[in-house]
Amino acid sequence: MNVTSGHLICPVCSLALTQKERSLSCEQNHSYDQAKQGYWNLLLVQRKRSKDPGDNPQMVAARTHFLDQHYYQPLADKISASVQLELTNNSNSRLLDMGCGEGYYTAQVEKALSNTNVEIIGLDISKHAVKAACRRSKSIHWLVASGAQMPVPEQSQDLLLVMFSRLMPAAFAKVVKPDGLLLLAWPAQEHLLELRQSIYKEIKISEYDPTTELAEQFSCEKVDTLRFEFSLQSEQDIQALLDMTPHSQRINDDSMAVLLASAPLHLTFHVNLGFFRRL
């Protein structure tokens, strides 16, 4: 699917980008070729904090394996239903999934919106994640780009979806239309509590609440909490969950061996879903 002229902007000069065949360019002749997998790389070298930012191939493979077992399907269903309710009667809407990763949630949202005219962008700073996301859908516009400086026009998005990514209030507010929706997911207090208890001597209970940080640009309509119990059925699934989180870097070999041998591993899913309206 071609990019509509002006729906993306040049990361160098912020002028509108227009697609011609497999290339995007602006009036100042900055040009970006489409990767063979179908994504657009709009991440400037000077905006990288490392040579290969974001999730590495191992983390992407782990997340793909884990999510494809549908342990988190209730969250995907909740998000898809919420997005559908928000955008179904809003013609020619635009949705951007910031920090889309390998596209699990983005693709399910697209299916929920299949009978609507909604343009969907999936954006992540990891090229490995975006390459994987391309396999989930050919009609979503997949971008390698910075969430701090998203290459879309100001106040252009009807809905911004942010799943477990860093909070950037100014960047979020810049791209969301007035009265548009920011749908934000973040871990609640008991999320994967059993896993954390098996790794750390002391468990820090998070009191994190993004409402205050967002208050200047967004009003909080509601925060829904999704909680359920689930069980990892295999050593491979336990390993995948560890590899897609920072926990794998903090667990010692003995604890890892015990954990991998404990299947089925019973865990708590506990996530907040916040609905924030752009002021």
User: Checking DSSP bridges between strand 157-163 and strand 93-98, what pairing results, if any?
Assistant: parallel
User: Checking DSSP bridges between strand 93-98 and strand 118-124, what pairing results, if any?
Assistant: parallel
Q: Is residue 30 part of an annotated ligand binding site?
A: yes
Q: Is residue 128 part of an annotated ligand binding site?
A: no
> Which helix (H) or strand (E) element contains residue 32?
strand 31-33
Q: Is residue 266 part of an annotated ligand binding site?
A: no
Q: Is residue 102 part of an annotated ligand binding site?
A: yes
Say how far residue 262 (Cα) sits from the centre of its chain. 30
Q: Is residue 10 part of an annotated ligand binding site?
A: yes
Q: Is residue 6 part of an annotated ligand binding site?
A: no
Q: Is residue 32 part of an annotated ligand binding site?
A: no
DSSP 248: G
End-to-end CA distance of the chain: 32
Query: CA distances (Å), 244 to each of 5, 55, 65, in order?
Result: 36, 9, 10
Q: Is residue 13 part of an annotated ligand binding site?
A: yes
CA distance 163 to 149: 17
> Which helix (H) or strand (E) element contains residue 79?
helix 73-87
User: Which amino acids are annotated as binding site, given as ranges?
Assistant: 10, 13, 26, 30, 72, 102-103, 191
User: Which amino acids are annotated as binding site for Zn(2+), given as ranges?
Assistant: 10, 13, 26, 30
User: Which amino acids are annotated as binding site for S-adenosyl-L-methionine, given as ranges?
Assistant: 72, 102-103, 191
